[in-house]
Amino acid sequence: MTEGCYRKEISAGLEVEIVLKKDQRTGILTKGTVKDILTNSSYHPHGIKVRLVDGQVGRVKKVKLSD
């Protein structure tokens, strides 16, 4: 797993763990598959914002590396 601060590490179809806006205080992570990348900049210190296939939006905290 890597942290999701760099846009180049994230692509559609990738399995990630994100923190939803409502969970930012608690740090609870939500697993899912990336549908869209919403952050335009190449780097964001709190994680790249993405939309999951199920419609949830949050910032990437962990990226599952392919085996």
pLDDT at residue 67 greater than cutoff 60:
no
CB atoms near residue 5 (< 10 Å): 19
pLDDT at residue 27 greater than cutoff 70:
yes
pLDDT of residue 64: 87
pLDDT at residue 1 greater than cutoff 90:
no
Q: What is the mean pLDDT of residues 2-22?
A: 93
Contact 39, 49 (CB under 8 A): yes
pLDDT of residue 45: 94
**Sorting pLDDT into bands at 50, 70 and 90, what band is 66?**
low
> Structure pTM?
0.90
